[in-house]
Structure 1
Amino acid sequence: MAAWTIEGAQARHNGARRGKALVLDDVSLSVAPGEVLGVVGPNGAGKTSLLRAGLGLMPLEAGQALLGGRPLARLNPVDRARLVGYLPQERRLAWNLRAVDVAALGAPDLPPGEALAVARERLARVGISELVDRGVLDMSGGERARVLLARLLATRAPLLVADEPVAGLDPDAQLLTLDLLRAEAAGGAAVVVTLHDLGLAARCCDRVVVLNRGRVAADGAPMEALSPAVLEAVFKLDGALIDTPAGVVVAARRTLSLSASPLGEGLSHPAYRVPGTYPPIGIAVVAEAGAAPGSGVA
């Protein structure tokens, strides 16, 4: 039985009137215990909306979500909290609580002493045991991200959902984060993670769902879901997945010039036409159309 199923989800932004564009349009997916599912897509594709709608944090106009085969709408908040651990994209915290106290919030079902013990162990897992007593507002953004990951791990929930958990982290922290989530899956949890780094998605996920304009463009094993055809149609990239000794990366070049890209309006001046590569971790994107794919593989 799937740990989490979304069937025919249709949704608009909160407060949007009918007639406004759908952010989710007949989206279906499922994730099984022991599986790591990656959700990828361009900015605005509907990744966060899918997670929120599937967890009951955003209303659905049509379709339904099920947890362990039970309709989400019929579960009370206590049962939902027991079944799901959720790490949202937003990392702002309002109070300067100690890291250990924030992480312990992930284990409200335990007595306070046991919750703190679990929190300390999870903080050690994410590599910041020396910061257990530091206030979270006195930390860097990356350190706070690790505290929130520890809180997610402290839930011990059978379904873990993380929205862009590696955003803004250094390379080692990115790989550690995904290794820890894979370890949870190895222990039987179902894990769903949204990512922008296609190389990391291909390397760390058992299955990948590609969203584009609120619809599922591909769903399958990484090599299938991130095929050259999908890279071109969805991400406007000319390239492919390449297996290296360090893991899979995406070697690609942009199919749009700077002046043709929506992000490049006003960049037609010759000063901007400088060949170069700008490779995030796990994906090599060659800016100049004439450069060879893979010439800047990270």
Structure 2
Amino acid sequence: MIGDYEGFRSGFACFVGRPNAGKSTLTNAVVGEKIAITSNRPQTTRHAIRGIVHRPDGQLVIVDTPGLHRPRTLLGQRLNDVVRTTWAEVDVIGLCVPADEAVGPGDRFIAGELAALRRTPKLAVVTKTDRVSASRLAEQLTAVAALGTEAGIEWADVVPVSATKGDRVELLTELLLAQLPEGPPLYPDGELTDEPEETLIAELVREAALEGVRDELPHSIAVVVEEMIQREDRPADRPLLDIHASLYVERDSQKAIVIGRKGTRLRDVGTQARTQIERLLGTPVFLDLHVKVAKDWQRDPKQLGRLGF
């Protein structure tokens, strides 16, 4: 390379793993800003969200992917397709395995699939290290090293991290960056994600809706931003953005759960989401939410397409 970017590295990395392995929390920690929604529910992530890390020596684009799982619906199949398409296109892959759960069949299945990508360097990332003792972490690091041997993968590194505490996140970033090819930046300086604002807003609403609902609901909720428009009658120094969004569920009984008694649940969702959206956009927001039923949308190709899948 010549010019200003000699020695500069740029490219794409993705975190993969089974559902709830800490991929989205880790993505946010590496980027330094919240660009992927998180939840303690498995399969929260539904899109490949890109977060951009700017450094003097390189630019790392992290792609957060849905958890690879045994699909029960057409939505599940499409989410798995997103994962496989993503990891076939990136420069380096980080397989996330939680420190507080034994290496299991799901981890072995994913490692086996990754082994077929012979040219792509792979790191093993042991997440959630703050949840275990030093001796348990040592056992897990040994087990993850063995997982690579068993699958025929030579890990470029095995890195223990705690995204919530920030432990070794900087080290992980440097190790990922070291695997990237030399090249100029791929995105303008200061840009944190290439996701459209509507997508990020819909995800923040869905994250708020996932808090405190019954176990059967997470996969049944989809959110579509119908309209974003600046309110016309506001003075320039006091703008207000009107956002109208629809939450889709699959059954009337689920609609009642999301709305809550006398609308209390939906109001809480709106308050929580609005705070996050205002932080994201840096402007006051009026958020108008409506709950609609799209019967069995996870299994319906037409409805999946309409809802952005």
Q: TM-score, normalised by structure 1?
A: 0.31
